Amino acid sequence: MKVLLYILLLVVVVLIAGYKVASYKLIETQESMYAEMQNSKGSESPRFFPDSLKMDDSSFWILINRSKSKFPDAYDKQIQFLTDTLASMPEERIVGFECTFVENVVKLWNYNIKSLYQIISGKYISTDDFIYFRCYLISLGKDEFDRAINSPELFATIVDPSMWAGEEMMHVADIAYQKRTNKIDEEGCPRCVCTEVSYDFGSYKMTGEYVSPHDFEDKYPRLTERY
């Protein structure tokens, strides 16, 4: 019986060690890929929509900031307020909001944002979750958006990685459009119209300067201490 227990224990130890090695190699491979994104020499996808199609940046952030100030600690209510506000606008304004939203998600394809995400949630980067995180950052308003990109050490929001729900921001314009038009038209929905710029399928050079996770404590001492 003791021999069997020892064997089982050995198997568990080997499995755990193998998992850790595999995870380490996966993260290291992923990091090398992200590091190379600053040196990409290929052609980029479009980053901007025509001015005639999108909502101007000032109007976009007025809407986001208003929704955040009205419901600073209730994300679901903030999303609902933003959706209802948009639904009261003409269809072209709803589409314009979506275009500007997409542009800002692409703008957050930035090394400081990558570092912020990893410090908060862990070194492995989930493709989908990283998109949701960037959408969530937009919901925090213009000031936090700018701090996250330019001065993440001054980022003030305390983020619970188990609680962010940025995916809802991705559907605000579509739901507002459906409310406004009383129809579900996949071909005419904002996300279907605003396809020239894409945070899902676009190819972009990551902006800013790459920082290895090994250097996070030196580069972002306040952030790493907080999380």
Closest CA to 164 of 148, 188, 180: 148
Structure tokens at 122: 């862990």
Position 9 pLDDT exceeds 60:
no
Position 182 pLDDT exceeds 90:
no
**pLDDT by residue (tens digit) across 91-116?**
999 999 999 999 999 999 999 999 99
pLDDT at residue 92, rounded to an integer:
94
pLDDT at residue 191, rounded to an integer:
87
Instruction: Read off the pLDDT of each residue in 208-214 and give the average, rounded to a whole number.
Output: 95
DSSP 5-30: HHHHHHHHHHHHHHHHHHHHHHHHHH
Which distant-in-sequence residues (6+ apart) come within 8 Å of 81 by Cβ? 67, 70, 71
Average pLDDT over the chain reads 88
Position 165 pLDDT exceeds 80:
no
**pLDDT by residue (tens digit) across 25-68?**
667 888 988 988 888 777 899 999 999 999 999 999 999 999 99
Asked whether 210 and 140 are in contact (CB, 8 A), the reply is no
Confidence of residue 83 (pLDDT cuts 50, 70, 90): very high
CA separation, residue 76 to residues 61, 80, 94, 160 (Å): 18, 6, 19, 15
Asked whether 113 and 134 are in contact (CB, 8 A), the reply is yes
**pLDDT by residue (tens digit) across 127-145?**
999 999 999 999 999 999 9
Q: How far apart are CA 218 and CA 227, in angstroms?
A: 14
Position 10 pLDDT exceeds 70:
no
Where residue 153 falls (left for φ over 0; alpha for ψ -120 to 50; beta otherwise) is alpha
Which distant-in-sequence residues (6+ apart) come within 8 Å of 119 by Cβ? 216, 220, 223, 224, 227
pTM score, whole prediction = 0.86
Chain position carrying tokens 């986001």: 64
